[in-house]
Structure 1
Amino acid sequence: MEAHERDPYPDVTAAGGLVAALRQEAEARARDIGLSPHATEAVGMETRRGYLSVDTAGGERRFRLRTSIPDFGWDIGGTSDLGTLVDAIAAWREGVPLDALKARFDFLDLDAFTGALAAGEPTASQWAGLLSSAYYRPQRNLLHRLHADEVLRNAFPTMTHRAVRLQVDPMDHTSRQVLVEEPDEGHYSVVRVGVPGAEWTEVPGDRLITYLRTALDDDRPE
Protein backbone atom coordinates (compact mmCIF):
# COMPACT_ATOMS: atom_id res chain seq x y z
CA MET A 1 0.00 0.00 0.00
CA GLU A 2 2.78 2.45 0.87
CA ALA A 3 4.53 1.69 -2.42
CA HIS A 4 1.31 2.46 -4.32
CA GLU A 5 0.87 5.69 -2.39
CA ARG A 6 4.31 6.78 -3.50
CA ASP A 7 3.62 5.80 -7.11
CA PRO A 8 1.11 8.15 -8.78
CA TYR A 9 0.78 5.68 -11.67
CA PRO A 10 0.11 2.23 -10.20
CA ASP A 11 -2.00 1.24 -13.22
CA VAL A 12 0.80 2.22 -15.59
CA THR A 13 3.34 0.32 -13.50
CA ALA A 14 1.12 -2.75 -13.33
CA ALA A 15 0.59 -2.69 -17.11
CA GLY A 16 4.31 -2.54 -17.75
CA GLY A 17 4.55 1.04 -18.94
CA LEU A 18 2.61 3.94 -20.43
CA VAL A 19 2.20 2.44 -23.90
CA ALA A 20 0.88 -0.82 -22.51
CA ALA A 21 -1.47 1.01 -20.14
CA LEU A 22 -2.88 3.13 -22.96
CA ARG A 23 -3.33 0.09 -25.15
CA GLN A 24 -5.11 -1.85 -22.42
CA GLU A 25 -7.40 1.05 -21.56
CA ALA A 26 -8.27 1.61 -25.22
CA GLU A 27 -9.10 -2.06 -25.69
CA ALA A 28 -11.22 -2.11 -22.54
CA ARG A 29 -13.18 0.94 -23.73
CA ALA A 30 -13.30 -0.22 -27.39
CA ARG A 31 -11.56 2.98 -28.51
CA ASP A 32 -9.29 3.43 -31.51
CA ILE A 33 -6.43 5.70 -30.45
CA GLY A 34 -4.17 4.94 -33.40
CA LEU A 35 -1.39 3.46 -31.30
CA SER A 36 0.89 1.29 -33.38
CA PRO A 37 0.89 -2.36 -32.27
CA HIS A 38 4.68 -2.20 -32.46
CA ALA A 39 5.04 0.88 -30.23
CA THR A 40 7.07 0.11 -27.12
CA GLU A 41 8.45 3.42 -25.88
CA ALA A 42 7.60 6.63 -27.74
CA VAL A 43 3.91 7.36 -27.60
CA GLY A 44 2.85 8.99 -30.85
CA MET A 45 -0.48 8.63 -32.59
CA GLU A 46 -1.04 9.80 -36.15
CA THR A 47 -4.19 11.84 -36.76
CA ARG A 48 -5.51 14.23 -39.39
CA ARG A 49 -4.79 17.06 -36.96
CA GLY A 50 -1.13 16.31 -36.43
CA TYR A 51 0.47 13.75 -34.17
CA LEU A 52 -0.75 13.21 -30.61
CA SER A 53 1.72 12.28 -27.91
CA VAL A 54 1.35 11.53 -24.22
CA ASP A 55 3.79 11.71 -21.36
CA THR A 56 3.52 11.70 -17.59
CA ALA A 57 4.33 14.43 -15.10
CA GLY A 58 6.80 13.73 -12.32
CA GLY A 59 5.69 13.80 -8.70
CA GLU A 60 1.98 13.90 -9.46
CA ARG A 61 -0.53 11.91 -11.46
CA ARG A 62 -1.00 13.81 -14.70
CA PHE A 63 -1.12 12.49 -18.25
CA ARG A 64 -0.06 15.34 -20.54
CA LEU A 65 -1.37 15.51 -24.10
CA ARG A 66 0.40 17.27 -26.95
CA THR A 67 -0.27 17.70 -30.67
CA SER A 68 2.50 18.39 -33.14
CA ILE A 69 3.80 18.41 -36.66
CA PRO A 70 7.51 18.53 -37.49
CA ASP A 71 9.09 21.63 -35.88
CA PHE A 72 5.83 22.78 -34.26
CA GLY A 73 3.94 21.55 -31.22
CA TRP A 74 1.28 22.57 -28.72
CA ASP A 75 0.51 21.32 -25.23
CA ILE A 76 -3.25 20.84 -25.18
CA GLY A 77 -3.98 19.72 -21.63
CA GLY A 78 -3.55 17.06 -19.00
CA THR A 79 -5.68 14.81 -16.86
CA SER A 80 -5.23 12.32 -14.03
CA ASP A 81 -7.83 9.97 -15.54
CA LEU A 82 -6.47 7.51 -18.06
CA GLY A 83 -9.92 6.57 -19.34
CA THR A 84 -10.86 10.18 -20.02
CA LEU A 85 -7.55 10.64 -21.82
CA VAL A 86 -8.24 7.65 -24.06
CA ASP A 87 -11.73 8.92 -24.85
CA ALA A 88 -10.33 12.34 -25.79
CA ILE A 89 -7.67 10.85 -28.06
CA ALA A 90 -10.25 8.70 -29.83
CA ALA A 91 -12.57 11.69 -30.31
CA TRP A 92 -9.71 13.82 -31.64
CA ARG A 93 -8.82 11.11 -34.16
CA GLU A 94 -12.47 10.81 -35.21
CA GLY A 95 -12.44 14.46 -36.22
CA VAL A 96 -14.80 15.79 -33.57
CA PRO A 97 -14.84 19.61 -33.99
CA LEU A 98 -12.49 21.45 -31.66
CA ASP A 99 -15.22 23.43 -29.91
CA ALA A 100 -17.13 20.20 -29.23
CA LEU A 101 -13.98 18.54 -27.94
CA LYS A 102 -13.34 21.41 -25.55
CA ALA A 103 -16.92 21.29 -24.28
CA ARG A 104 -16.81 17.53 -23.76
CA PHE A 105 -13.34 17.27 -22.20
CA ASP A 106 -12.81 20.12 -19.77
CA PHE A 107 -9.14 19.21 -19.26
CA LEU A 108 -8.33 20.24 -22.83
CA ASP A 109 -6.81 23.70 -23.24
CA LEU A 110 -6.97 24.43 -26.97
CA ASP A 111 -6.61 28.22 -26.86
CA ALA A 112 -2.96 28.33 -27.95
CA PHE A 113 -3.52 25.72 -30.64
CA THR A 114 -6.66 27.25 -32.14
CA GLY A 115 -5.21 30.74 -31.78
CA ALA A 116 -2.13 29.74 -33.75
CA LEU A 117 -4.22 28.24 -36.54
CA ALA A 118 -6.47 31.31 -36.65
CA ALA A 119 -3.38 33.51 -36.99
CA GLY A 120 -2.15 31.49 -39.97
CA GLU A 121 0.41 29.50 -38.04
CA PRO A 122 2.46 27.44 -38.40
CA THR A 123 2.40 28.20 -42.14
CA ALA A 124 3.53 31.83 -41.86
CA SER A 125 6.46 30.98 -39.60
CA GLN A 126 7.51 28.12 -41.86
CA TRP A 127 7.59 30.38 -44.91
CA ALA A 128 9.61 32.99 -43.01
CA GLY A 129 12.12 30.39 -41.90
CA LEU A 130 12.64 28.93 -45.37
CA LEU A 131 12.88 32.31 -47.09
CA SER A 132 15.55 33.50 -44.67
CA SER A 133 17.55 30.27 -44.52
CA ALA A 134 21.06 30.38 -45.94
CA TYR A 135 20.90 26.59 -46.37
CA TYR A 136 18.09 26.93 -48.90
CA ARG A 137 19.64 29.82 -50.81
CA PRO A 138 19.71 27.79 -54.08
CA GLN A 139 15.91 27.45 -53.86
CA ARG A 140 15.28 31.03 -52.73
CA ASN A 141 14.07 32.34 -56.10
CA LEU A 142 11.58 29.47 -56.35
CA LEU A 143 10.45 29.99 -52.76
CA HIS A 144 9.92 33.70 -53.34
CA ARG A 145 7.95 33.03 -56.51
CA LEU A 146 5.66 30.56 -54.75
CA HIS A 147 5.22 32.76 -51.70
CA ALA A 148 4.35 35.78 -53.85
CA ASP A 149 1.14 34.06 -54.96
CA GLU A 150 -1.79 34.82 -52.66
CA VAL A 151 -3.07 31.25 -52.85
CA LEU A 152 0.16 29.26 -52.68
CA ARG A 153 1.47 31.20 -49.70
CA ASN A 154 -1.34 29.62 -47.68
CA ALA A 155 0.03 26.14 -48.37
CA PHE A 156 2.47 24.73 -45.82
CA PRO A 157 6.00 24.56 -47.30
CA THR A 158 8.78 22.12 -46.50
CA MET A 159 11.92 21.12 -48.34
CA THR A 160 12.57 17.62 -49.69
CA HIS A 161 16.07 17.53 -51.09
CA ARG A 162 15.99 20.25 -53.78
CA ALA A 163 12.22 20.34 -54.11
CA VAL A 164 9.68 22.52 -52.34
CA ARG A 165 6.77 20.55 -50.90
CA LEU A 166 3.46 22.44 -50.68
CA GLN A 167 0.73 20.91 -48.52
CA VAL A 168 -2.82 22.24 -48.27
CA ASP A 169 -3.22 21.58 -44.55
CA PRO A 170 -0.16 21.28 -42.29
CA MET A 171 -2.20 19.43 -39.68
CA ASP A 172 -3.51 16.82 -42.13
CA HIS A 173 -0.91 14.51 -43.63
CA THR A 174 -3.52 13.22 -46.11
CA SER A 175 -4.29 16.65 -47.59
CA ARG A 176 -3.24 17.41 -51.15
CA GLN A 177 0.43 18.14 -51.66
CA VAL A 178 2.88 18.63 -54.48
CA LEU A 179 6.62 18.74 -54.97
CA VAL A 180 8.05 21.39 -57.27
CA GLU A 181 11.69 21.84 -58.22
CA GLU A 182 13.68 24.09 -60.51
CA PRO A 183 16.43 21.86 -61.96
CA ASP A 184 17.58 24.70 -64.20
CA GLU A 185 16.77 28.38 -64.01
CA GLY A 186 13.27 28.97 -65.38
CA HIS A 187 12.56 25.25 -65.85
CA TYR A 188 10.21 23.51 -63.44
CA SER A 189 9.11 19.98 -62.63
CA VAL A 190 6.08 19.08 -60.50
CA VAL A 191 4.70 15.84 -59.07
CA ARG A 192 1.53 15.16 -57.06
CA VAL A 193 2.42 13.41 -53.80
CA GLY A 194 0.45 10.33 -52.81
CA VAL A 195 -1.29 9.90 -56.15
CA PRO A 196 -0.81 6.39 -57.61
CA GLY A 197 1.16 6.50 -60.83
CA ALA A 198 1.98 10.19 -60.55
CA GLU A 199 5.17 11.18 -62.34
CA TRP A 200 7.28 14.30 -62.54
CA THR A 201 5.87 16.67 -65.14
CA GLU A 202 7.74 19.52 -66.78
CA VAL A 203 5.77 22.74 -66.45
CA PRO A 204 6.55 25.95 -68.37
CA GLY A 205 7.37 28.92 -66.17
CA ASP A 206 4.39 30.94 -67.37
CA ARG A 207 2.03 28.11 -66.33
CA LEU A 208 3.66 27.15 -63.03
CA ILE A 209 1.42 29.05 -60.61
CA THR A 210 -1.80 28.03 -62.35
CA TYR A 211 -0.65 24.41 -62.51
CA LEU A 212 0.17 24.33 -58.80
CA ARG A 213 -3.08 26.04 -57.82
CA THR A 214 -5.02 23.40 -59.75
CA ALA A 215 -3.02 20.53 -58.27
CA LEU A 216 -3.72 21.75 -54.74
CA ASP A 217 -7.39 22.49 -55.28
CA ASP A 218 -9.31 20.30 -52.83
CA ASP A 219 -12.54 20.78 -54.77
CA ARG A 220 -11.37 19.25 -57.99
CA PRO A 221 -11.98 15.51 -58.60
CA GLU A 222 -9.12 13.04 -58.40
Structure 2
Amino acid sequence: MNSSGTTGSTGYSEDPRFRYYEDLVERGGLWATIVSVAREHRVDIGVTAERPESNTQAWSAADFASPRGAMRVNLGHGARRFAVTLDSNWGYVWASGSTADLAEVVEVMAFWRQGARLQELSKRFPFMEFDSLSQAYEDGNPVETQWDIVIGDENFLVYRELLLALHADPNLREMFPFFSHWTLRMTKDCYDSRSEEILIKPSAGEGYVIWSSLDPEEKREFSRLDDLIRAAVSILGDL
Protein backbone atom coordinates (compact mmCIF):
# COMPACT_ATOMS: atom_id res chain seq x y z
CA MET A 1 0.00 0.00 0.00
CA ASN A 2 1.37 3.44 -0.88
CA SER A 3 1.54 6.50 1.38
CA SER A 4 -1.75 7.90 0.04
CA GLY A 5 -3.71 5.00 1.58
CA THR A 6 -4.66 3.36 -1.69
CA THR A 7 -4.17 -0.27 -2.60
CA GLY A 8 -1.72 -0.57 -5.45
CA SER A 9 -2.85 0.78 -8.82
CA THR A 10 -6.56 0.37 -8.21
CA GLY A 11 -6.95 3.85 -6.72
CA TYR A 12 -9.41 2.64 -4.02
CA SER A 13 -8.96 3.79 -0.42
CA GLU A 14 -8.14 1.05 2.07
CA ASP A 15 -11.39 -0.23 3.52
CA PRO A 16 -12.17 -3.36 5.63
CA ARG A 17 -14.96 -4.22 3.17
CA PHE A 18 -12.35 -5.00 0.53
CA ARG A 19 -11.56 -8.34 2.14
CA TYR A 20 -14.96 -9.53 0.93
CA TYR A 21 -14.62 -8.07 -2.56
CA GLU A 22 -10.99 -8.42 -3.64
CA ASP A 23 -12.12 -9.79 -6.99
CA LEU A 24 -14.16 -6.63 -7.60
CA VAL A 25 -11.12 -4.48 -6.92
CA GLU A 26 -9.06 -6.54 -9.36
CA ARG A 27 -11.71 -6.32 -12.08
CA GLY A 28 -12.35 -2.60 -11.67
CA GLY A 29 -15.49 -2.46 -9.51
CA LEU A 30 -18.96 -3.93 -9.24
CA TRP A 31 -20.27 -2.89 -12.67
CA ALA A 32 -17.26 -4.29 -14.51
CA THR A 33 -17.34 -7.51 -12.49
CA ILE A 34 -21.04 -8.11 -13.19
CA VAL A 35 -20.49 -7.57 -16.90
CA SER A 36 -17.52 -9.94 -16.83
CA VAL A 37 -19.46 -12.64 -14.96
CA ALA A 38 -22.38 -12.32 -17.37
CA ARG A 39 -20.09 -12.82 -20.34
CA GLU A 40 -18.36 -15.78 -18.69
CA HIS A 41 -21.75 -17.44 -18.19
CA ARG A 42 -23.02 -16.35 -21.62
CA VAL A 43 -25.89 -14.45 -20.01
CA ASP A 44 -27.39 -11.43 -21.76
CA ILE A 45 -27.98 -8.53 -19.37
CA GLY A 46 -28.31 -5.95 -22.15
CA VAL A 47 -24.86 -4.36 -21.84
CA THR A 48 -23.29 -3.04 -25.03
CA ALA A 49 -20.86 -0.44 -23.64
CA GLU A 50 -17.50 -1.28 -22.09
CA ARG A 51 -17.95 1.17 -19.21
CA PRO A 52 -20.89 2.31 -17.05
CA GLU A 53 -22.48 5.65 -17.83
CA SER A 54 -21.28 7.03 -14.48
CA ASN A 55 -17.89 6.19 -13.03
CA THR A 56 -19.19 7.04 -9.55
CA GLN A 57 -21.12 3.76 -9.41
CA ALA A 58 -18.24 1.57 -10.59
CA TRP A 59 -17.08 0.37 -7.19
CA SER A 60 -19.99 -0.23 -4.82
CA ALA A 61 -23.14 0.15 -6.95
CA ALA A 62 -24.18 -0.76 -10.47
CA ASP A 63 -27.26 0.05 -12.53
CA PHE A 64 -28.48 -1.79 -15.59
CA ALA A 65 -31.47 -1.05 -17.82
CA SER A 66 -34.51 -3.23 -18.40
CA PRO A 67 -37.83 -2.63 -20.17
CA ARG A 68 -39.50 -2.36 -16.74
CA GLY A 69 -37.01 -0.07 -15.00
CA ALA A 70 -33.52 -0.03 -13.59
CA MET A 71 -31.90 -3.15 -12.18
CA ARG A 72 -29.71 -2.02 -9.29
CA VAL A 73 -27.01 -3.95 -7.45
CA ASN A 74 -25.28 -2.84 -4.25
CA LEU A 75 -22.65 -4.39 -2.04
CA GLY A 76 -23.48 -5.79 1.37
CA HIS A 77 -21.58 -4.90 4.55
CA GLY A 78 -19.96 -7.25 7.03
CA ALA A 79 -20.20 -10.21 4.66
CA ARG A 80 -20.07 -10.91 0.95
CA ARG A 81 -23.58 -10.14 -0.28
CA PHE A 82 -25.03 -8.56 -3.39
CA ALA A 83 -28.33 -6.73 -2.94
CA VAL A 84 -30.52 -6.73 -6.06
CA THR A 85 -33.35 -4.24 -6.56
CA LEU A 86 -35.65 -4.33 -9.56
CA ASP A 87 -36.86 -0.75 -9.68
CA SER A 88 -39.87 0.44 -11.64
CA ASN A 89 -38.56 3.99 -12.13
CA TRP A 90 -42.11 5.05 -11.16
CA GLY A 91 -41.66 5.29 -7.41
CA TYR A 92 -42.11 1.65 -6.43
CA VAL A 93 -39.94 -1.46 -6.44
CA TRP A 94 -40.92 -4.61 -8.29
CA ALA A 95 -38.82 -7.01 -6.23
CA SER A 96 -35.63 -7.15 -4.18
CA GLY A 97 -33.32 -9.62 -2.48
CA SER A 98 -29.72 -10.53 -1.87
CA THR A 99 -27.36 -13.39 -2.61
CA ALA A 100 -23.69 -14.19 -2.12
CA ASP A 101 -23.48 -15.62 -5.63
CA LEU A 102 -22.78 -13.05 -8.33
CA ALA A 103 -23.75 -15.58 -11.00
CA GLU A 104 -27.27 -15.59 -9.52
CA VAL A 105 -27.34 -11.81 -9.77
CA VAL A 106 -26.76 -11.86 -13.52
CA GLU A 107 -29.26 -14.69 -13.94
CA VAL A 108 -31.91 -12.67 -12.08
CA MET A 109 -31.31 -9.67 -14.31
CA ALA A 110 -31.39 -11.73 -17.50
CA PHE A 111 -34.60 -13.50 -16.45
CA TRP A 112 -36.25 -10.18 -15.60
CA ARG A 113 -35.20 -8.63 -18.91
CA GLN A 114 -36.75 -11.58 -20.71
CA GLY A 115 -40.14 -10.61 -19.26
CA ALA A 116 -40.45 -12.94 -16.26
CA ARG A 117 -43.49 -12.36 -14.06
CA LEU A 118 -43.05 -11.78 -10.35
CA GLN A 119 -44.30 -15.22 -9.35
CA GLU A 120 -41.96 -16.83 -11.88
CA LEU A 121 -39.03 -14.78 -10.61
CA SER A 122 -39.64 -15.69 -6.97
CA LYS A 123 -40.10 -19.37 -7.77
CA ARG A 124 -36.83 -19.58 -9.67
CA PHE A 125 -34.92 -17.29 -7.27
CA PRO A 126 -36.50 -17.64 -3.79
CA PHE A 127 -34.30 -14.87 -2.36
CA MET A 128 -36.11 -12.36 -4.56
CA GLU A 129 -39.19 -11.08 -2.73
CA PHE A 130 -42.09 -8.82 -3.66
CA ASP A 131 -45.18 -7.50 -1.89
CA SER A 132 -48.88 -7.37 -2.70
CA LEU A 133 -48.64 -3.87 -4.13
CA SER A 134 -45.95 -4.90 -6.61
CA GLN A 135 -48.19 -7.79 -7.64
CA ALA A 136 -51.04 -5.31 -8.04
CA TYR A 137 -48.97 -3.12 -10.33
CA GLU A 138 -48.19 -6.16 -12.44
CA ASP A 139 -51.88 -7.16 -12.47
CA GLY A 140 -52.99 -3.61 -13.30
CA ASN A 141 -55.00 -2.82 -10.13
CA PRO A 142 -52.64 -0.89 -7.82
CA VAL A 143 -55.20 1.72 -6.71
CA GLU A 144 -57.78 -0.81 -5.54
CA THR A 145 -55.12 -2.85 -3.78
CA GLN A 146 -53.58 0.17 -2.08
CA TRP A 147 -56.94 1.20 -0.62
CA ASP A 148 -57.25 -2.27 0.91
CA ILE A 149 -53.72 -1.99 2.30
CA VAL A 150 -54.12 1.41 3.97
CA ILE A 151 -57.62 0.72 5.30
CA GLY A 152 -56.40 -2.51 6.87
CA ASP A 153 -53.16 -1.07 8.27
CA GLU A 154 -53.28 -1.33 12.08
CA ASN A 155 -50.68 1.44 12.33
CA PHE A 156 -53.21 3.95 11.04
CA LEU A 157 -56.33 3.01 12.98
CA VAL A 158 -56.92 6.66 13.78
CA TYR A 159 -57.44 7.24 10.06
CA ARG A 160 -59.71 4.27 9.37
CA GLU A 161 -63.04 6.07 9.65
CA LEU A 162 -61.72 8.81 7.36
CA LEU A 163 -60.33 6.30 4.87
CA LEU A 164 -63.63 4.46 4.67
CA ALA A 165 -65.46 7.74 4.10
CA LEU A 166 -63.05 8.80 1.36
CA HIS A 167 -63.23 5.40 -0.31
CA ALA A 168 -67.02 5.55 -0.32
CA ASP A 169 -66.89 8.51 -2.71
CA PRO A 170 -66.70 7.23 -6.32
CA ASN A 171 -64.34 10.01 -7.41
CA LEU A 172 -61.98 9.98 -4.45
CA ARG A 173 -61.52 6.22 -4.48
CA GLU A 174 -59.94 6.58 -7.93
CA MET A 175 -57.02 8.34 -6.25
CA PHE A 176 -53.98 6.48 -4.89
CA PRO A 177 -53.70 6.83 -1.07
CA PHE A 178 -50.51 6.55 0.95
CA PHE A 179 -49.02 7.88 4.18
CA SER A 180 -45.96 10.06 4.60
CA HIS A 181 -44.92 11.60 7.94
CA TRP A 182 -48.32 10.74 9.45
CA THR A 183 -50.09 12.64 6.66
CA LEU A 184 -52.53 10.97 4.30
CA ARG A 185 -51.72 11.81 0.71
CA MET A 186 -53.91 10.94 -2.27
CA THR A 187 -52.41 11.30 -5.72
CA LYS A 188 -54.21 11.44 -9.04
CA ASP A 189 -51.68 9.27 -10.87
CA CYS A 190 -49.85 6.47 -9.07
CA TYR A 191 -47.46 6.17 -12.01
CA ASP A 192 -46.30 9.78 -11.80
CA SER A 193 -44.38 10.93 -8.70
CA ARG A 194 -45.03 14.54 -9.74
CA SER A 195 -48.80 14.11 -9.86
CA GLU A 196 -50.86 16.58 -7.85
CA GLU A 197 -52.08 15.46 -4.43
CA ILE A 198 -54.70 16.03 -1.76
CA LEU A 199 -53.20 16.00 1.74
CA ILE A 200 -55.05 15.39 5.02
CA LYS A 201 -53.85 15.15 8.61
CA PRO A 202 -55.50 15.29 12.05
CA SER A 203 -55.93 18.80 13.43
CA ALA A 204 -55.04 19.94 16.91
CA GLY A 205 -58.70 19.47 17.80
CA GLU A 206 -60.88 16.49 16.85
CA GLY A 207 -61.10 17.19 13.13
CA TYR A 208 -58.81 17.18 10.11
CA VAL A 209 -56.82 19.70 8.11
CA ILE A 210 -56.95 19.41 4.31
CA TRP A 211 -55.02 21.10 1.51
CA SER A 212 -53.67 20.43 -1.97
CA SER A 213 -50.15 20.26 -3.36
CA LEU A 214 -51.15 23.02 -5.76
CA ASP A 215 -51.81 25.44 -2.90
CA PRO A 216 -50.02 24.21 0.26
CA GLU A 217 -50.64 27.47 2.11
CA GLU A 218 -54.43 27.21 1.72
CA LYS A 219 -55.24 24.82 4.58
CA ARG A 220 -58.78 24.30 5.86
CA GLU A 221 -59.96 22.53 8.99
CA PHE A 222 -63.15 20.50 9.34
CA SER A 223 -64.64 18.73 12.32
CA ARG A 224 -67.36 16.91 10.34
CA LEU A 225 -66.40 14.13 7.95
CA ASP A 226 -69.18 15.04 5.51
CA ASP A 227 -67.75 18.54 5.16
CA LEU A 228 -64.24 17.20 4.74
CA ILE A 229 -65.31 14.81 1.98
CA ARG A 230 -67.07 17.62 0.12
CA ALA A 231 -63.94 19.73 0.41
CA ALA A 232 -61.80 16.87 -0.91
CA VAL A 233 -64.10 16.41 -3.92
CA SER A 234 -63.93 20.16 -4.58
CA ILE A 235 -60.13 20.14 -4.43
CA LEU A 236 -59.99 17.13 -6.75
CA GLY A 237 -61.97 19.10 -9.30
CA ASP A 238 -59.26 21.77 -9.28
CA LEU A 239 -56.29 19.43 -9.63
Contact 2:72 2:86 in 1 (8 A): yes
Paired position in structure 2 for 1:73: 94
Whole-angstrom distance in 2 between the partners of 1:130 and 1:145: 13
1:117 CA drift (Å): 3.8
- Please give the residue correspondences for 1:203-218 in structure 2 after superposition, counting only pairs within 5 Å: 203-204=221-222, 205-216=225-236
Whole-angstrom distance in 2 between the partners of 1:122 and 1:53: 21
The alignment partner of 2:109 has SS state of strand
Q: Does 1:158 align with 2:178?
A: yes
1:76-128 Cα shifts (integer Å, max 9, x gaps)? x8349xxxxxxxxxxxxxxxxxxxxxxxxx94417669984475533333222
Whole-angstrom distance in 1 between the partners of 2:55 and 2:232: 34
TM, length-normalised to structure 2? 0.48
Whole-angstrom distance in 1 between the partners of 2:70 and 2:148: 26
- Please give the residue correspondences for 1:38-117 in structure 2 after superposition, counting only pairs within 5 Å: 41-42=60-61, 52-55=70-73, 66-68=86-88, 73-74=94-95, 78-79=109-110, 107-109=113-115, 116-117=136-137
Q: How large is the Cα RMSD of the aligned pairs?
A: 4.6
Paired amino acid for 2:172: L
1:164 CA drift (Å): 0.9
Give the unaligned 5+ runs of structure 1. 1-9, 28-34, 57-63, 81-105
Q: 1 or 2 for the larger relative contact order (CA 8 Å, sep ≥6)?
A: 1
Whole-angstrom distance in 1 between the partners of 2:154 and 2:160: 9
Paired position in structure 2 for 1:83: none
Whole-angstrom distance in 2 between the partners of 1:175 and 1:142: 22
Contact 1:72 1:122 in 2 (8 A): no
Among candidates 195, 211, 214, match of residue 191 of structure 1: 211
Paired position in structure 1 for 2:163: 143
Whole-angstrom distance in 2 between the partners of 1:36 and 1:171: 30
1:166 CA drift (Å): 0.9
Paired position in structure 2 for 1:99: none
In the TM superposition, structure 1's runs of 4+ consecutive aligned residues that sit over 6 Å from their partners are 10-13, 19-24
1:55 CA drift (Å): 3.5
Whole-angstrom distance in 1 between the partners of 2:68 and 2:193: 7
State the identity as a percent: 21
Among candidates 182, 185, 189, match of residue 202 of structure 2: 182
Give the unaligned 5+ runs of structure 2. 1-22, 36-46, 75-83, 97-107, 119-132
Q: In the comparison of the two structures, how many residue pairs are matched?
A: 164
Contact 2:179 2:185 in 1 (8 A): yes
TM, length-normalised to structure 1? 0.51
